[in-house]
Structure 1
Amino acid sequence: MTRGKPTVGDIWRKAYPFTYWKRRINKLELGNSHDALDALFIHSHLADTFATVLSARMRRPKNPWYAVKDELYTPDIYDTLEALKRTENGETRYFIEVLLEQPEGYVTLDLPEGWKENVDYETGFVNQFLGCPARFDEDAKHIETLYDPKGYMAVCNAVLNYWNEIGTLMNDFKHGFRILPFEWDHATWLFESDLINVETDIDALREGYTEMDADWKFDFWRMETGNDDEPGTPVTLEVHTVDVERCIAFSSLTLKLLYNIFDKNRTQKIGEDIELLFGSNEVRQGDSFTILHQQFEFESRFEESKPEGN
Structure 2
Amino acid sequence: MPLTFVAGPARVRTPATSANLGPGFDALGLALSLHDELTATVTGPGVRVEISGEGTDELPTDDGHLVVRAMLATFDELGERPPGLAVSCVNRIPQARGLGSSSAAIVGGVLLARGLVEGGEALLDDAGVLRIAAGLEGHPDNVAPCLLGGFTIAWTEGAGARAVTTKTHPDVRPTVFIPSERGYTASARRALPADVPHADAAFNSGRSALLVHALTTDPTLLLPATEDRLHQGYRGDAMPGTTSLVAALRSVGVAAVVSGAGPSVLAFTEVPGDFTAGTEWRAVSLGVDGGGALAKGSMVRHAERGTVAAGRTS
Considering the TM-score relative to the shorter chain, is it more than 0.5? no
TM-score when normalising by structure 1: 0.23
Q: Which is greater in Rg?
A: 1
Q: Relative to total residues, which structure has the larger strand share, 1 or 2?
A: 2
Compare the two structures and name the one with the higher helix fraction. 1
- RCO (CA 8 Å, sep 6+): is it higher in 1 or 2? 2
